[in-house]
Structures are given as structure tokens and as C-alpha cells.
């Protein structure tokens, strides 16, 4: 009897699970349905560029309908409301429900606000194309407004969190704001651009020479770093810091951390701090007919105490492993263990600078080589899915 594979999420993990499953299972063997809240597959690793208009929306929002065309994969646009793993049923907020033979959960992560008062209500986030578009419009509006009112809060921009998301965004803002100011008749020297980081340093875990490079490169372009000081509250136009100081601003972009998807955390499958625990085959440890890809899962390298980081390159590889394992699951064949290949970590520092470490030796890169590698890794992903899906955009 034909099986039904239901895939929740059309991001890196979900899309690659679907395409890989279809490579291994014919349409007679399995019906595949992908559920996604947006009609697009979003290249979220490039959202910082969209947030300043340094990339067009169509480069980061690829229509799923086109990507899946000719693959015998059903697409359902909707938001997952509940997953009932014991009943093998998923309900969407539009009221539709789906039963499955096997489920792939690839719903990504959510912004963590850590209960900081006012933060969720008064900050911007950078998790989707919609978020990036909102930031771009808002920053333009602020500079426009400042040109008329000289309200300092309009010319002050704060990025909360100095991880890779925060640093990539602040680099783009540093490159974009001077031009925007010129076009609106505003002196860029009147603009303040902060990156606030609670830890003693930005980019914790990076080699000191790369942190130094990022700090110097961004400071030269006007970024003010406040490190070792946490954001403790956000009111409408006031960011409060742990040292008692405040910053008046109409723009706080919060990039202070991510957490497991709450629908997954509360659905009854086994979780560890909100992310699904999985076997080496990426099967839920409590429900073998549920596979989990990307940030929705927590995966520990053999013998390690710290899990793999929640990154796109991992999500993509998890999807491909799951695609094969669905075939193995239905056919009683041995499954593949998840053995990721790390190409490295690369972070942009704006349009012309980047840092990274690549390869087994963690070779450190700075400047143009790192920028080129970062661009190449994006192209590599796009050409991979292009090959798989005959991309037409």
C-alpha cells in the first residue's frame, strides 16, 4: 500500500528531505506532502543582505511550487498548529488535518527572547524574508523621519547580540547607512550604530584573530561595540542595559539567540531543551516514524557533550540522510547514520569583508578570500538544489 510522507517545513531540512525521499521512493510507493507557512523556500543565510536592500527578494525567496514542479510532491501552504505523534496526525491553523505513515519535522527554530521585558513587543527579528523587508523599510523611514525632525532615536540603530546573525547584519547596516543618509540629506556622522553583546566578546568561540578582525573592520565603519553588557529591557524607544545605562532608539534588532520550535517542543515527542532528541539515523528517540531535520532536532556528535550548531549546512545534510532513511524505514533496509561534513563557518562583515575558518584544520580566512568562499558556499547550495529541482527563477 502506498505510504504518505508528511514533511513539515520547506526550509533547508524539509526541502532536501522531500527531494531526496522522492529520489529513493517512486510516486506509487509514497505520496509526499510538504507543508510550509510561506509559498517560498527562503535562503535565510542571506537575510542580512535583503534587510538592507543589497539583494533582491527573488534571490532569497524561491517559489516552492517551482522547486517542486514535476516531482510528484504535494505542496500545502499553512502553519502547523499541532502535531499528535501518537495519533499520527498534524493539524494546520487553517483547520486542515493530515495523517501520515512517516513524518519529517523540519520546522526550524524560533527567536529566543529569554523573558526580557518588552523585547518581543518592541524589537525586530531577522528570521524570514518578511522580517528582512520590515527592517529595510523601517530603517529607511527612520532616516527619512530624522531628516525632518532630528529626533535622535530615529538616527540610532541597535543590534542586540553579537553572534553571527548580529554581526552579519551590523556589517550590512554599516555599509548601507552612509548612502541612505546621503540620499536623504542626513550627515552620517549623526547616526549611531551599536552592537550590544552580553558576553565579554562578540563572536564567542571564534579564534581571537578573527574576532579582532571583525571588531576593527566594523569599528572603522562606525559600529560601536558594547560588550560584556546585556540588554535587560526594551521599552518603546529605550533599550536598558545591565550596567544601568540606556540607549534611546526606535530600532532594536534582536539577534540574541534561537530556541527550538515551540510546536515541536510541546507535541509529545522526546525533546531536550525544546529540540527533538534523535538517533544517529535522525529518528525521534520516542517515535520511530518521526524523523527530524535541521534546528528542530538536537544532534550530538559521537561522545561529545555539545550538540552540533544549528546551521543551514547541517540542516541540508540532515534532509538528505532522512530522504534515504525514509526509504530504508519502509523497506526494512539498514538506515544511514548521520555523518555531517563540515565545510567550515564563514561570516560576512558587510559587502567587502568577511571572516571564516574552513576545512579539517580550521584554516582561518579574512577579507576577500573569506568573502569569495562565503559567496561560493551560497552558489554551491543554489546549484545543488537547481540540479535537483531544475530551478527556474
Chain positions contacting ligand NAD, by CB under 6 A: 45, 116, 160-166, 168, 196-199, 204, 230-231, 255-258, 309-311, 345-347
- Based on CB atoms, which residue is closest to ligand NAD, 23 or 192? 192
Rank residues 179 and 309 by Cβ distance to ligand NAD and give the closer one.
Answer: 309
- Sign for the CA dihedral angle at 64, 69, 71, 77 comes to positive
In the complex, what is the shortest distance from the CB of residue 37 to ligand NAD, in angstroms, rounded to a whole number?
20
Query: d(Cα 372, Cα 212) in Å, to the nearest integer?
Result: 20
Contact 255, 112 (CB under 8 A): no
192 is catalytic: no
Residue 195: closest CA among 236, 153, 164: 164
Least distance to ligand NAD from the beta carbon of 166, Å?
A: 6
| Bridging pattern class, strands 73-77 and 30-36 | parallel
In order of 131, 173, 204, the CA distances from 208 in angstroms are 31, 24, 9
Smallest gap from Cβ 45 to ligand NAD, in A, equals 6
Strand partners, 366: 355
Taking the C-alpha atoms of residue 252 and residue 219, their distance in angstroms, rounded to an integer, is: 19
Contact 190, 222 (CB under 8 A): no
> Smaller CB distance to ligand NAD: residue 215 or 283?
215
* All cell numbers assigned to 380: 554551491
Output the smallest distance, CB 389 to ligand NAD, in A. Answer: 23
Closest distance of CB 11 from ligand NAD, Å: 13
Closer CB to ligand NAD, 328 or 373, in the complex: 373
Closest residue by beta carbon to ligand NAD:
163
Residue 377 beta carbon to ligand NAD: minimum distance, rounded to whole angstroms: 9
Residue with smaller CB distance to ligand NAD, 14 or 166: 166
Least distance in Å: CB of 193 to ligand NAD? 15
CA nearest neighbour of 246 among 124, 147, 163, 158: 158
The string of DSSP letters for 58-76 reads HHHEEEHHHHHTTTTEEEE
How is residue 277 written as a grid cell?
A: 532528541
Nearer to ligand NAD, 163 or 260 (CB): 163
Q: Which of 110, 168, 172, 320 is catalytic?
A: 168
| Residue 316 Cα to chain centre, angstroms | 12
Q: Cβ distance 245 to 251 under 8 Å?
A: no
* Rounded least distance, CB 258 to ligand NAD, Å: 5
With H, G, I as helix, E, B as strand and everything else as coil, classify residue 133: helix
Give the closest residue to 256 by CA, choosing from 108, 125, 121: 125
Quote the CA–CA distance of 139 and 155 in Å, as a whole number.
9
The nearer residue to ligand NAD, 168 or 175, going by C-beta atoms, is: 168
Nearer to ligand NAD, 35 or 169 (CB): 169
From CA 249, how far away is CA 153, in angstroms rounded?
Answer: 4
CB of 276 within 8 A of CB of 292?
Answer: yes
Active site residues: 168
Amino acid at each position: 500500500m502506498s505510504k504518505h510522507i508528511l514533511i513539515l517545513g520547506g526550509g533547508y531540512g524539509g526541502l532536501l528531505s522531500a527531494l531526496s525521499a522522492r529520489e529513493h521512493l517512486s510516486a506509487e510507493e509514497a505520496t509526499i506532502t510538504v507543508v510550509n507557512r510561506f509559498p517560498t523556500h527562503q535562503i535565510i543565510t542571506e537575510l542580512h543582505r535583503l534587510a538592507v536592500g543589497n539583494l533582491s527578494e527573488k534571490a532569497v525567496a524561491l517559489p516552492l511550487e517551482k522547486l517542486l514542479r514535476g516531482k510528484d510532491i504535494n505542496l500545502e501552504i499553512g502553519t502547523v498548529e499541532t502535531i499528535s505523534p501518537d495519533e499520527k496526525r498534524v493539524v494546520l491553523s487553517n483547520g486542515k488535518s493530515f495523517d501520515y505513515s512517516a513524518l519529517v519535522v523540519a520546522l526550524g527554530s524560533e527567536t529566543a527572547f529569554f523573558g526580557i521585558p518588552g523585547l518581543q513587543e518592541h524589537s525586530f527579528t531577522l528570521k524570514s524574508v518578511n522580517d528582512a523587508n520590515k527592517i529595510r523599510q523601517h530603517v529607511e523611514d527612520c532616516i527619512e523621519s530624522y531628516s525632518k525632525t532630528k529626533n535622535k532615536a530615529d538616527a540610532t540603530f541597535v543590534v542586540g547580540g553579537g553572534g553571527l546573525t548580529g554581526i552579519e547584519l551590523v556589517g550590512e547596516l554599516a555599509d548601507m547607512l552612509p548612502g541612505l543618509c546621503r540620499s536623504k540629506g542626513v550627515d552620517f556622522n549623526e547616526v549611531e550604530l551599536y552592537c550590544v553583546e552580553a558576553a565579554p566578546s562578540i563572536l564567542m568561540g571564534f579564534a581571537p584573530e578573527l574576532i579582532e578582525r571583525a571588531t576593527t573592520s566594523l569599528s572603522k565603519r562606525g559600529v560601536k561595540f558594547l560588550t560584556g553588557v546585556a540588554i535587560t529591557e526594551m521599552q518603546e524607544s529605550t533599550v536598558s542595559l545591565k550596567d544601568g545605562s540606556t540607549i534611546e532608539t526606535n530600532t532594536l534588532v534582536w539577534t540574541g539567540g534561537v530556541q527550538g520550535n515551540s510546536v515541536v517542543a510541546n507535541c509529545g515527542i522526546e525533546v531536550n531543551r525544546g529540540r527533538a532528541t534523535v538517533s544517529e539515523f535522525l529518528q525521534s528517540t520516542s517515535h520511530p516514524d518521526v524523523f527530524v531535520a535541521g534546528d528542530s532536532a538536537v544532534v550530538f556528535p559521537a561522545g561529545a557533550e555539545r550538540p552540533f550548531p544549528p546551521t543551514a549546512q547541517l540542516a541540508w545534510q540532515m534532509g538528505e540522510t532522512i530522504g534515504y532513511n525514509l526509504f530504508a524505514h519502509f523497506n526494512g533496509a539498514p538506515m544511514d547514520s548521520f555523518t555531517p561534513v563540515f565545510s567550515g563557518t564563514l561570516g560576512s562583515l558587510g559587502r567587502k569583508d568577511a571572516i571564516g575558518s574552513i576545512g579539517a584544520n580550521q584554516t582561518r580566512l579574512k577579507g576577500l578570500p573569506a568573502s569569495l568562499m562565503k559567496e561560493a558556499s551560497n552558489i554551491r547550495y543554489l546549484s545543488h538544489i537547481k540540479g535537483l529541482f531544475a530551478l527556474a527563477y
